[in-house]
Chain A
Amino acid sequence: MVTQTFIINNKNGLHARPAGELAKIASTCRSDITLKIGEKKINPKSILNIMAAAIRFGTEIELACNGETETEDLKRLGEAIEQGLGE
């Protein structure tokens, strides 16, 4: 399993559009992915779960990928998050 923490730099947090972008990328990853915010764990393949977590600007999140493609999945997700998820 590989993990990495990120800071959300989307000014309005992960609202519908960036959450959708994250879910879309996560859904195409073959490893199992968990997104941790504090103690809360959510499934980032679900846009609704991401939105319901109300992740704001500056929030620290931890992504964990587990499976054969874990390294490249984490890299893809990380790059997308750092680039603002299409915003």
Chain B
Amino acid sequence: MKVLKVKQPASEGIAMGWAYLYQPQERIIADYRVSAEDRNKEIERFEAAVKNAAEELFVLAGENPIFAAHLEMVKDIALQEAVTGKIKGDGNNAEKAVVLACEELILLFEAMEDAYMKERAADIKDIRERLLGQLTGLEKKTVSCEEESILIASDLTPSDTAALDLDKIRGLITRDGGITSHVAILAKSLSLPALVGVKDIFSEVADGDFLILDGYTGELRINPTEEEKQKYHELTGKHKEAEERIKAEEHLPGITRDGKEFHLCANVGNIEDIKKAVTNHIDGIGLFRSEFLYLGSSHFPTEEEQFEAYREAAVICGREITIRTLDIGGDKTLPYYPMDREENPFLGFRAIRISLQEKELFKTQLRAVLRASAFGKIRILFPMIISLEELRAAKAVLRECMEELKAEGIHYDDSIQTGVMIETPASVLCAEELAKEADFFSIGTNDLTQYLLAVDRGNTKIAALYNSFHPAVIRSIRHVTDSAHKYGKKAGMCGEFAGNEKATELLIGLGLDELSMTASLIPGVRYRIRRLDYEAAGKLAEAAVNKATVSEIMELLQ
């Protein structure tokens, strides 16, 4: 048995079946010169092919939005001009002109930096095949295979995938492409397990080999033993059952067996997210990123625009909602607010630093939040605080806004809570002092891990060093929760770590009161919590805090 592995599976699930190697036939393209007087006829031939291809795509577009884009592409005037130019000007026949014109576009897209755009070259290839099919009158072989197959191809165009016999296919593997490719998107939407970018697939797998595709770990087992097959049969059953069990409890509270209840909240970026999140049985919005209001606008949003958005958010949420004040800088910039290039933008002019310096902008936002607080339960969260002075300065601006509103006779919640985002080593070490003056903490593990470990989380070369299970991160969380509780304040977590089920027992044991994550992760975490013992989790956390290495901590969590 041999095992191939990719870093990131394209679509989750386990598939077992026989390898079916799909190799599209090579098309032989006619290549001849067209005399000057026949060139208009050749153009007509091309135009007829476009018309027929468009009719085909029009039908397909009803089922799949990718083909709606293809329909536009096949009729595209830039493509038309390129092809007719090659017929009229250079005397190419229609087939050759299509090949040449598409080749230029394919090269253009393949040369792009953006992974998504790079993969759009596949769309052009697909259109080329469709037009050539019309011109030559030869249909490409459709994808047909035996029962229980795992389809293997160098790449699959949207047309190939539309022709798949889905009753027989259990999983998909491609040699090329990334996790944003058509194959990946299609596989997810069909709940088919898939691996993409498996470089050695053709040299390692032959037609008819038996395969186990593990879309959880990214592993592909070639000709496994009976024992292995049995193991995976059981695993598949377990995964299915687990999903059903989790779903069955999604409406129940996040409470441990010994009766400790946790708030499970959603992180959201806009009103649409909130609408989706509230269908997921959430206890509130733990992090509302206010940036979307600024990013989606052509100017700094006015107090009125912000008020409307925050009010709507609070009303739709219907429970407590934590609004984080503007957190730009670092990797996020605004088109209408030019920022100087900085050597270290993540250590630069960002988040609360901008708000405190641009006081009028800050006041506009705080006044809008305050006004909205009359319509729902809102908390304010200040990002990237490194000192007590900053917290005091931010609260002073808030008080100023409150006094103004009071004088204007405008209602707001005058007991509105203010929190500190714990995401710098400084805020961890000053947590006790901050806890005296803040109403709550929210630990942002993404930035905290990056700053504590001095590891840039966008740098792929050192990606392996970025790990929130590092003892420094775990001990920081413990210190922050202890400090908060000492002064009767609550501590939550709103980083990606909060949604990591492997970490759930540790996190509740460390004393966090609230976990906020992408809404879709909540049911899994809730299910975990409902099977945990709070007291045992506390002991586990105590042991973890005293471990010296990541691997010792991981071992403890097994």
Q: In the docked arrangement, what's the CA distance between A6 and B297, Å? A: 9
**Does A23 sit within 8 A of B, measured CB to CB?**
yes
State the CA gap A24–B65 with chains docked (Å).
14
Residues of A28-72 whose CB lies within 8 A of B = 43, 45-49, 51-52, 54, 56-60
The answer to whether the Cβ of B100 comes within 8 Å of any Cβ in the partner chain is no
User: Are A23 and B112 in contact (CB-based, < 8 A)?
Assistant: no
In the bound complex, CA of A27 to CA of B112 (Å) = 26
User: Is B296 part of the contact surface with A, judged by Cβ < 8 Å?
Assistant: yes
Given A16-B66, A19-B69, A60-B335, CB of A7 within 8 Å of CB of B117: no
Measured in the bound complex, the distance between the Cα atoms of B117 and A25 in whole Å is 22
Question: Per a CB cutoff under 8 Å, which of A7, A9, A17 touches B65?
Answer: A17
Interface presence of B298 (CB below 8 A): yes
Residue B190 interfacial (CB < 8 Å): no
Contact present for B68 and A20 (CB under 8 Å): yes
Q: Is the CB of B77 within 8 A of A46?
A: yes
In the bound complex, residues from chain B placing their C-beta under 8 Å from that of A7 are 296-298, 335-336
**Closest beta carbon of chain A to B155's beta carbon, Å:** 16
> By the criterion CB–CB under 8 Å, are A9 and B120 in contact?
no
Closest to A19 in B: B69
**B108 on the interface (CB 8 Å rule)?**
yes
Question: Are A58 and B72 neighbours in the complex by a CB distance under 8 Å?
Answer: no
The answer on a CB contact under 8 Å between B120 and A45 is no
Q: Considering the chains assembled together, what is the distance between the CA atoms of A6 and B105 in angstroms?
A: 27
Does B42 lie at the interface of the complex (its beta carbon under 8 Å from any beta carbon of A)?
A: no
Given A16-B120, A20-B69 in contact, is the A9-B296 Cβ separation under 8 Å? yes
* Best-surrounded residue of A9, A51, A60 (most CB of chain B within 10 A): A51
Which residues of the partner chain B approach A23 to less than 8 Å between Cβ atoms? 72, 76
| A12 interface residue (CB < 8 Å to B) | yes
CB distance from A41 to the nearest CB of B (A): 13
Is A20 within 8 A of B72, CB to CB?
Answer: yes
Q: Residues of A within 8 Å of B, CB-based: how many?
A: 27
Asked if B143 CB lies within 8 Å of chain A CBs, one says: no
Chain A residues closer than 8 Å to B69, beta-carbon distance: 16-17, 19-20, 47
CB–CB B120/A51 < 8 A: yes
Tell whether, in the assembled complex, residue A52 and residue B108 are in contact, meaning their CB atoms are under 8 Å apart: yes
> Which residues from B are CB-within-8-Å of A47?
69, 72-73, 76
Q: Which chain A residue lies CB-closest to B61?
A: A20
Residues of the A chain whose Cβ atoms lie less than 8 Å from the Cβ of B298 = 5-7, 60
Contact A48 B76 (CB under 8 A): yes
Task: Report chain B residues within 8 Å CB of A5.
Answer: 298
Contact A17 B78 (CB under 8 A): no
Partner of A20, one of B73, B108, B117: B73
Partner of A46, one of B68, B78, B295, B296: B78
Q: Chain A residues with Cβ under 8 A from B46's Cβ?
A: none
Whether B349 is near chain A, meaning CB under 8 Å from some CB there, is no
CA separation between A87 and B68, bound complex, in Å?
Answer: 13
Residue of A nearest to B112 (CB): A54
Question: In the complex, what residue of chain A is closest to B292 when comparing beta carbons?
Answer: A9
Q: How far is the CB of A38 from chain B (nearest CB, A)?
A: 12
Expressed in whole angstroms, the minimum distance between the Cβ of A84 and any Cβ of chain B is: 9
Which chain B residue shows the least CB distance to A51? B120
List chain B residues, Cβ under 8 A from A49. 76, 78
A15 touches B297 (CB 8 A): no
B439 in contact (CB, < 8 A): no
**Which chain B residues in 324-348 approach chain A with CB under 8 Å?**
333-336
Residues of the B chain whose Cβ atoms lie less than 8 Å from the Cβ of A52: 105, 108-109
List A contacts of B76 (CB < 8 A): 23, 46-49
Q: Given the complex of chains A and B, what is the CA–CA distance between A27 and B296 in angstroms?
A: 26
Q: Which residues of B approach A to under 8 Å, CB–CB?
A: 65-66, 68-69, 71-73, 76-79, 105, 108-109, 112, 114, 116-117, 120, 123-124, 295-298, 333-336
Q: Which residues of A contact B (CB under 8 A)?
A: 5-7, 9, 12, 15-17, 19-20, 23-24, 27, 43, 45-49, 51-52, 54, 56-60
| Inter-chain pairs besides A16-B66, A48-B105, 13 sampled, C-beta below 8 Å | A7-B298, A15-B116, A17-B65, A17-B66, A20-B72, A47-B69, A48-B73, A48-B124, A51-B109, A51-B117, A58-B334, A58-B335, A60-B335
What are 25 A-to-B residue pairs whose CB atoms are below 8 Å? A5-B298, A6-B298, A7-B296, A7-B336, A12-B116, A16-B123, A20-B69, A20-B73, A24-B72, A27-B77, A46-B77, A46-B79, A48-B73, A48-B105, A48-B124, A49-B76, A51-B120, A52-B105, A52-B109, A54-B117, A56-B114, A57-B295, A58-B333, A58-B334, A58-B335
